[in-house]
């Protein structure tokens, strides 16, 4: 069964810390992997999209990597700020089927001053 797992479920860090969020998936036959941010009571906002042929993508203080062989993706946030507090979800688009975009349950991040 194709699954996406995010650990930890929640994370609390002081402002300024560099941090890594983890996403693991059970099937290496993925088409792409996306990272999303969700603020309370809001929809999801796409942060980074990594195609299977890529190793990483960067946007500002965010860097996402993809290692298909180990079934892992990481989202690196540099110099965290209180405004980064949100839930971060990853979603893997698995090949071989219609729209098998599988979401992880998310990591709830709190950055305190």
Interface with another protein, residue 105, by CB under 8 A? yes
Among 91, 92, 109, 111, binds another protein (CB under 8 A): 91
Interface with another protein, residue 101, by CB under 8 A? yes
Burial track 64-98 (b if 16+ CB lie within 10 A, e otherwise): bbbebeebebbbebeebeeebbbbbbbbbbbeeee
Interface with another protein, residue 62, by CB under 8 A? no
Only one of the segments 12-20, 63-71, 76-84, 85-93 lies at the binding site for another protein (rule: CB under 8 A); that segment is 85-93
């Amino acid at each position: 069964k194709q699954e996406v797992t995010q650990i930890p479920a929640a994370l609390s860090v002081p402002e300024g810390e560099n941090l890594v969020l983890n996403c693991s998936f059970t099937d290496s036959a993925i088409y792409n992997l996306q990272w999303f941010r969700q603020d309370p009571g809001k929809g999801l906002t796409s942060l980074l999209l990594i195609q299977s042929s890529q190793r990483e993508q960067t946007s500002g203080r965010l860097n996402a990597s993809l290692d298909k062989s180990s079934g892992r993706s990481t989202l690196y946030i540099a110099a965290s700020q209180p405004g980064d507090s949100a839930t971060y979800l990853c979603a893997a688009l698995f090949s071989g089927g219609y729209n098998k975009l599988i979401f992880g349950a998310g990591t709830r991040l709190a950055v305190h001053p």
